A = this chain, B = another copy of it.
Amino acid sequence: MLDDRKLTILRAIVTDYVSMREPVGSRALVERYQLDVSPATVRNDMAVLEEEGYIMQPHTSAGRIPTDKGYRMFVDRLGTVKPLSGAERRAIETFMAGAVDIDEVVRRTVRLLAQITRQVAIVQYPILSSATIRHLEIVTLSPERGLLILVNSTGKVDQRPVDLGNAPDDTLADLRGRLNAALIGLAPSQVVEKAETLVAELPDDVRPLGAAVVSAILELVTADPSTRVVVGGVPNLTRFSDQYESTVRPVLEALEEQVVLLRLLGEVAGTGDVTVRIGHENPYAPLRSTSVVASGYGTEDDIWANLGVVGPTRMDYPSTMAAVRAVARYVGRFLAEG
């Protein structure tokens, strides 16, 4: 159905439209892409491509622009991987160096991704499912208010206020000792299993407080940190479209909704490799006029979370995909090393 030349033409249309941002006609095509055929021939091929739904005309007698289906074909079969430039590689390395905690890693990643793709970047906080509890502390702030602190093997520190109800210091110390002894080295799932019997086995005088603390621990341990996302590069939305109100506004609104972004990343990515959702393929209606390029990141056996970019369907897919892939890999390695 689609012979080589038609595919070449489709590729040329996509490439040209992405860089020129204008509908592309048959003459420009043969001139800029050495097709060695006449414009008339190209027109015939374009008629077929249009019939098949890969390209369309904004109006009669304008050039053609790719449809979502056209971009999809391009991404799946026509795009050649565009390796990162040396400067980009170096940027990735230097950008991350010196990030001390997880917050900073995420913040820098989002900045980095926005900068090299020149799109809006989204990074989800990593969930480190293999993490185990390393240390547990109960700090007294006042006779009534305490702070439960949990440190896991990756160095993440979680906290939560607990109501101490005037419990005496030695009760507190007793509880802390028991909890540390019982829970250190356990993974989240094991903590959940063990929680009930742990409370049951506490001495009567410690049990009320113990129950409160354990339930706080459970909250912390089951709370999914990857339910947080960070967004960056919003100014790049400028390059989206000329009609601000109708196209940019819904995207801006979507970007403020953590829940939406999480669902989006979840449905688009989820694997270790780069995935692309083009226009109407997107699960979320207000983003139907955008494309999402996303990838999971983590180690080879363990995906922790997702990251990606949102941009106009008319985007440079090869470069964007290469950048997302590179950043995802680098962040995965960086976090794995600690």
Q: Taking beta carbons and an 8 Å cutoff, which residues of A are in contact with B?
A: 100-101, 134-135, 137, 139-141, 145, 147, 149, 151, 153-155, 157, 159-161, 232-235, 237-238, 242, 244-245, 248-249, 252-253, 255-256, 338
Contact = CB atoms under 8 A, between A and B. Distances in A.
A234 B248 contact: no
Nearest to A114: B256
Contact of A141 (B155, B234, B245): B155
B256 A248 contact: no
Contact of A256 (B139, B147, B151, B232): B232
A132 to B, nearest CB: 11
Contacts of A237: 252
A333 B154 CA distance: 36
B232 A238 contact: no
Contacts of A139: 134-135, 151
Given A149-B151, A157-B147, A157-B149, A234 B249 contact: no
Contact of A245 (B100, B134, B157, B238): B238
B244 A238 contact: yes
A48 to B, nearest CB: 38
7 contacts: A100-B161, A134-B139, A135-B137, A141-B153, A234-B255, A235-B253, A237-B252
A137 B137 contact: yes
A234 to B, nearest CB: 6
Contacts of A235: 249, 252-253, 256
Given A100-B161, A145-B338, A161-B155, A238 B256 contact: no
Main secondary structure of the interface of A (DSSP, over half): mixed
Given A145-B338, A238-B248, A238-B249, 15 more contacts: A100-B161, A101-B160, A101-B161, A137-B137, A137-B149, A141-B338, A147-B151, A147-B155, A232-B256, A234-B255, A234-B256, A235-B253, A238-B244, A242-B244, A244-B244
Contacts of A101: 159-161
Nearest to A231: B234
A208 to B, nearest CB: 21
Contacts of A232: 256
A161 B242 CA distance: 47
Contacts of A154: 141
Contacts of A233: 256
Contacts of A256: 232-235
Contacts of A141: 134, 153-155, 338
A100 B160 contact: yes
A145 B149 contact: no
Contacts of A145: 155, 338
